[in-house]
Amino acid sequence: MNAILFVVTEDWYFWSHRVDLACAARGAGYRVLLATRFTAHRARIEALGIECFDLPFERSLRHPQRDLRLLFALNALIGRERPVLVHLVALKPILLAALAVCMRPHVRFVHALTGMGYLFTSSDGLARRIQRCVRPVLKFLLSRANSHAIVQNDDDLRLLAELGVDGSHRASLIRGAGVDIERYRPAPPPDAHAPVVLLPARMLRDKGVAEFIEAAGAVHALRPAARFVLVGGIDPDNPAAYTQPELEAAIAAAGVEWWGHREDMREVYAQATIVCLPSYREGLPKALLEAAACGRALVATDVPGCRDICRPDVSGLLVPARNPPALAHAIETLLEDDALRTRLAAGARALVEREFSSAQVQAATLALYARLGAAVA
């Protein structure tokens, strides 16, 4: 039986974004392996018949000695398990697979770029220096004969072209992880007299948390009954993360609620009047896909990834990034206009059904595996 190895930095991300694809691959007849750092989900992943290998990944690029050990460990794992295809998710696993890509020309490598993230959005001097080093390495890896890239939006496809990667043969556009449209279904709208504006994301600066908090203060001046809610956990491994004291201090003055990490996101979306993501850049945000599937009008920034699902006059309103007044105005517009909000909510659901279901994403990805020569044995 041919094997596919998924390589992801952390088990929680695999569980939330790739487990359905892995199960679809098993259903198609592949042996499925996972290499990641395990913290909470190993037992439930193994219960699905997925073979697990613990590698101590870190998402940052700030510890080269540890990364060098992982580069050799990942290459050894691939040599030992002999997968026909390795599906690398996000930038760090792609870079750490460099040795294996070069040493194992008969293995196919799928490089899934999930958005350029902190490294490509930060103005931090170290991030920019690392980016200058990463770009030529990325170009080299994605141009190899046994490599193929998956991007989630048109902007990242153009970025590959800027790197010199042939997008017509070396890359495919597959829009995100998709969303289970049977699990995430529209719920009745909540009480319009106490509207809830929701930002579902990890508590990172580049998710627009500060802009959301500032916008909340402006809207509260007009609508004191409106509730602004952050849902998501602290992510200490991310350089853009808030600490808990920083976040609690920031929300206290603005009257913003923080519900922390939640597993019951369907119930959370059911309480929301509007779902908002003022991020600086995304691949294709799963939170907006889920909110759209639940029939909620969206407000998001006009940046890669967000604008793919938050489409003006279809599913939501777009605003410039890092612009709290524009964000507040868009939120107030939707709170004021019930008919517009209802129309955009219905359009969001229809858009997800048409273009972003998990079934569509899984079919496209399995078809890519077969096209790359990783047929089921």
Looking at residues 199-226, what average pLDDT do you find? 96
- Tell me the percentage of the chain whose pLDDT exceeds 70: 95
pLDDT value at 318 more than 70? yes
- Which domains are seen in the chain, by residue range? 3-178+357-371 (3.40.50.2000), 196-355 (3.40.50.2000)
For residue 133, the model assigns a pLDDT of 79
pLDDT value at 30 more than 80? yes
Q: Quick check: 163 and 135 in contact, CB under 8 A?
A: yes
Looking at residues 80-97, what average pLDDT do you find? 95
pLDDT value at 85 more than 60? yes
pLDDT value at 37 more than 70? yes
What is the pLDDT confidence band of residue 11, given thresholds at 50, 70 and 90? very high
pLDDT value at 214 more than 70? yes
What number of helices (H) and strands (E) belong to the chain?
18, 13
For residue 135, the model assigns a pLDDT of 84
Of 184, 277, 189, the C-alpha closest to 231 is 277
For residue 267, the model assigns a pLDDT of 97
Of 282, 277, 374, the C-alpha closest to 327 is 277
What is the pLDDT confidence band of residue 50, given thresholds at 50, 70 and 90? very high
pLDDT value at 17 more than 60? yes
Q: Quick check: 211 and 323 in contact, CB under 8 A?
A: yes
What does the mean pLDDT of the chain come to? 93
For residue 122, the model assigns a pLDDT of 60
- Mean pLDDT: which of 69-78, 152-161, 184-193 is highest? 69-78
Looking at residues 138-151, what average pLDDT do you find? 93
Looking at residues 171-190, what average pLDDT do you find? 94
What is the pLDDT confidence band of residue 120, given thresholds at 50, 70 and 90? low
For residue 119, the model assigns a pLDDT of 60
Segment 275-314, tens digit of pLDDT: 999 999 999 999 999 999 999 999 999 999 999 999 999 9
For residue 324, the model assigns a pLDDT of 98
Q: Quick check: 223 and 332 in contact, CB under 8 A?
A: yes
pLDDT value at 127 more than 80? no
Separation CA 255–CA 283 (nearest Å): 30
Whole-Å CA distances, 367 to 83, 151, 187, 320, 376: 17, 15, 33, 36, 11
Tokens 């699902």 — which residue? 309
Torsion of CA 227, 228, 233, 235, to 10 degrees: -160
pLDDT value at 118 more than 70? no
For residue 372, the model assigns a pLDDT of 93
Segment 228-279, tens digit of pLDDT: 999 999 998 888 899 999 999 999 989 999 999 999 999 999 999 999 999 9
For residue 282, the model assigns a pLDDT of 92
pLDDT value at 173 more than 90? yes
Q: Residues 372, 376, 377, CA angle at the centre, nearest 5°? A: 120
Conformational region of residue 124, where left means phi above 0, alpha means psi within -120 to 50, and beta covers everything else: beta
What is the pLDDT confidence band of residue 373, given thresholds at 50, 70 and 90? confident
